[in-house]
Structure 1
Amino acid sequence: MSAVLRKLPLSLQHVFAMFGATVLVPILTGLSPGATLVASGLGTLVFHAITRGKVPAYLGSSFAFIAPLTLYVTRHHAPGQAVTGLVSVSVVYFLFALIVRVVGFDRVRRAIPSVVVGPVVSIIGLSLATTAVTVDASTHWDVAIVTLAAAVACAIAGPRTLRIIPILVGIVTGYLYALARGLVHLGQAAAQTKWIEFPTFHAPEWNLAAMASMAPIALVTMVEDLGHMFVLNEIIERDVTRDPGFGSILFGNGLATLISALLGGPAETTYAENLGVLAMTRNFSSRIIQGAAVIAILLGLVGKVSAVIQSIPPAVVGGVGILLYGMIAAMGIRHMIEAKVDLTKTKNLIVVAVIFIIGIGAPQNGIAIATVAGLLIYWLLPDRTAS
C-alpha cells in the first residue's frame, strides 16, 4: 500500500497532463467525456500489455478525427456510424503493424534520417505552443506565471521528494492561487454531476462513407506515433521501435482505438503531453502510466472527482504546458546535436526549415505533412551525403 501511495502523485501528474486534451475531443465532437476517459484508460492498459510494459506512453483522444466525428455524431446524429469508421481505423493499424513486422522496422528506420527526426520531434512540442500560450495561459497570465514558476522552482531547487513531481506542484500551486483569485468555480461544476455516472455506449452501425472518411486518417496518426516514439527514445535513452518494436506499438494503438470505438470514445493516440512529464520528472516507470490509466477509468465513472479536475482553470494548464511542450521541442534539438547533423549543408538546412514552418504553420495534420515533406526533400534532392 505504501508503494502505491508513493506512486499516486506521479500518476496524477500524467492524469493532469492528458486530461484537458482527452476530454476536449468528445466535447467538440458530441461524444461522451466519461466514455472517453474510460476508453483512454482501458486503451492505455491494453497498449501496455501488448508492448509488455516497455513503452511508457499514455494514449488519449486523437485530434486528427475531430472533423469526421463531428459530422457523424453531431450533424448526422449517427454515433453508431462513427463507431464503424473508427473500427476501420483500427483495421488499418493492424495491417500496417503486420507490414512492419514482415518488412522489418530497420528498413523503415533507415529511410528516416536524423535531420528529419530532430525537427519533427521539435515541432511536436512547438505545435502545441499556441494552445499553451494563446488559448490557455493568456486567459489569466498571472495564474499561468505562478503555475510555471512553481513547477520550475520545484524542478530545480525543490527538495528531492518534490523534484520528481514538479508538474503536480505547479498545478496545485496554480490552482490554489486561482482559487484565491476567485477564478475556480468548483461548486457549480460539482453540482452538475452525479457521484457515479456510467458512460453512454453506442453499437456499430455499418456505413461505408464513414469508413472511407476515417480509415485514411490512420496514416496521419501513425506518422505522429512514430514521431512520438522518436521523442520517447530521446527521453528514456532506449529505442522502443526495436524493443518491443514499432509493429507492436502500432498493433497496441490499433487495439486501443478499437476498444475506444466500441465503448463510444474517439480514436486513441500516444500523447506528447505525457512525454513532456517523462522528460521533466525523469521517472520512466510504466507502472506510473498504468496507474494514471486506472485513475482515468475511475474519473470516467466518478462524476464528482472528474468535476474537480475539470474546474482547473485553463491558465493553470497553460502554465505547465509552456514547460512540458518546451521540453519536447528541446529534445528535438538535442537529437540533432547528438546525431551531429551538419546544418552548414544547404540540403540539411532546407529540410529543417521546411519541416519547422509546415509543422508549426499547418493548422491540421501539420506534423504528418511536415514529416512527409522533409523525407521527400531529403531523398529527392541530389546531395545524398547529408547526415
Structure 2
Amino acid sequence: ANASDDWLLACIVFAIVAALSVYARGFLRVVPVIVGLISAYLIAMLLNRVDFTAIKEAKWVAVPAFTLAKFSLQSIITVAPLALVTMIEHIGDIVAIGATVKQDFAKDPGLSRTLLGDGLATCLSAMFGGPANTTYSENTGVLVLTGVWNPLIMRIAAVIAIILGFMPKIGAVIQSIPIGIIGGVSILLFGMISAVGIRTLVENQVDFSQPRNLIIAAVILVLGLGGASLPLQFGQISLTLEGMGLAAIAGIILNLVFKKSDAR
C-alpha cells in the first residue's frame, strides 16, 4: 500500500499506532494496530474519504463460491517456478519470527515441516478453488508491536477469520479502508521487520568491516526497503518479484558469488 496516496491519514494512523505501542499499558498495548486502523477509519469517514457503495451492496451472510480443482499439467509447469519465490519468502519470515520470539524455528519444528505445512495448506486451498497460501512479512511486525505470539491466540484468530469469510459485509468494510491508512501502518510494520533483521545481524556478530558482508547487507536492505521490483513472465502468467522475496534471492546469489574464502 502507498502512504503517498493520502499522507494525512497515513500520518494519523502511524502516530496512533506508534503512540500506543510506546506509551499505552494493559489491553491497549496489545491492540495498537487495530485501534489505530479503527481510529483512522473514523477520521476518514468524517473527512468524507470512504466509499460506502460496496458496503451497502454487500450481504451480511453468504457462502463463498467454491470451485473444484482441475488438473492441468501445462498450468502446473508454468506455476511451479513461482513456488521457489514463496519458499524463499517463507524461510525469511520463519527466521525473522524466530528472532522475534527468541526461538529457532529452523531447527524446531524445522524448515522441512514448516514448508510442508505451507504446501499442504496451499494444496487444500486449491482443492476448493482458493488462492495459494503464503507467509506475510507484515505479520512479523505485528508480533513485534503487540508482543503476542501465543499459538492458541493465533488459532482463535484463524477461526474468527474463517467465520468472517462468510460475511461479505465485513469484507466490504475492510476493502473500503483508504489506501493511505494501510500505507501508514505498513511504514511501521516494515520498519519493525527491518529492525528485527538488524538485531539478528548484531546478535550474530556479523563483521561489517568485511566488504563482502557490507555489500550483501546493503543490497538486501535497499531492495527490501527501497520499493524495487522485478517483473517476471512465465508463459501467460505474470509475476512481480519485490520486497523480501527479491531481497532474499539477491542476498542468496551474492552470498554464493562472494564466498567467505575470497574475502580479505
TM-score category, normalised to shorter length: 0.7 to 0.9
Give the aligned partner of residue 229 of structure 2. Answer: 362
Contact 2:17–2:33 (8 Å) recurs in 1: yes
Looking at structure 1, the residues matched to 143 and 189 of structure 2 have their Cα atoms a distance apart, in angstroms, of 9
Give the aligned partner of residue 255 of structure 2. Answer: 378
Matches within 5 A, 1:320-339: 320-339=185-204
Looking at structure 1, the residues matched to 223 and 181 of structure 2 have their Cα atoms a distance apart, in angstroms, of 29
1:262 is displaced (CA, Å) by 1.4
The secondary structure found in structure 2 opposite 1:365 is strand
1:189 is displaced (CA, Å) by 2.2
Contact 2:141–2:189 (8 Å) recurs in 1: yes
- Unaligned 5+ segments in structure 2 are 231-239
Matches within 5 A, 1:172-187: 172-186=38-52
1:253 is displaced (CA, Å) by 0.3
Give the aligned partner of residue 167 of structure 1. Answer: 33
User: Which is worse superposed, 377-386 or 158-167?
Assistant: 377-386
Looking at structure 2, the residues matched to 184 and 278 of structure 1 have their Cα atoms a distance apart, in angstroms, of 29
The secondary structure found in structure 2 opposite 1:206 is coil
1:210 is displaced (CA, Å) by 0.3
Contact 1:201–1:262 (8 Å) recurs in 2: no
Looking at structure 2, the residues matched to 211 and 236 of structure 1 have their Cα atoms a distance apart, in angstroms, of 36
The secondary structure found in structure 2 opposite 1:215 is helix
Q: How many correspondences in the alignment? A: 251
Residue type at the aligned position of 1:244: P
Looking at structure 2, the residues matched to 378 and 340 of structure 1 have their Cα atoms a distance apart, in angstroms, of 17
Looking at structure 1, the residues matched to 186 and 201 of structure 2 have their Cα atoms a distance apart, in angstroms, of 23
Give the aligned partner of residue 119 of structure 2. Answer: 254
Deviations 1:199-235 (A, max 9, x none): 1122222322101111121111111100001110111
C-alpha RMSD of matched pairs (Å): 1.9
Indicate which of 308, 318, 338 corresponds to 2:173.
308
| TM-score, structure 2 as length reference | 0.87
1:157 is the counterpart of 2:23: yes
User: Which is worse superposed, 173-182 or 288-297?
Assistant: 288-297
Q: 1:218 to 1:298 in 2, by over 3 A?
A: same
Matches within 5 A, 1:181-200: 181-186=47-52, 188-200=53-65
1:308 is displaced (CA, Å) by 2.2
Residue type at the aligned position of 2:191: G
| TM-score, structure 1 as length reference | 0.61
Give the aligned partner of residue 208 of structure 1. Answer: 73
Matches within 5 A, 1:201-350: 201-350=66-215
Contact 1:276–1:324 (8 Å) recurs in 2: yes
1:357 is displaced (CA, Å) by 4.0
Q: 1:382 to 1:144 in 2, by over 3 A?
A: closer
Looking at structure 2, the residues matched to 266 and 302 of structure 1 have their Cα atoms a distance apart, in angstroms, of 18
Contact 2:69–2:128 (8 Å) recurs in 1: no
1:306 is displaced (CA, Å) by 2.1
Residue type at the aligned position of 1:163: R
The secondary structure found in structure 1 opposite 2:76 is helix
Identity %: 39
- Unaligned 5+ segments in structure 1 are 1-130
Looking at structure 2, the residues matched to 316 and 369 of structure 1 have their Cα atoms a distance apart, in angstroms, of 25
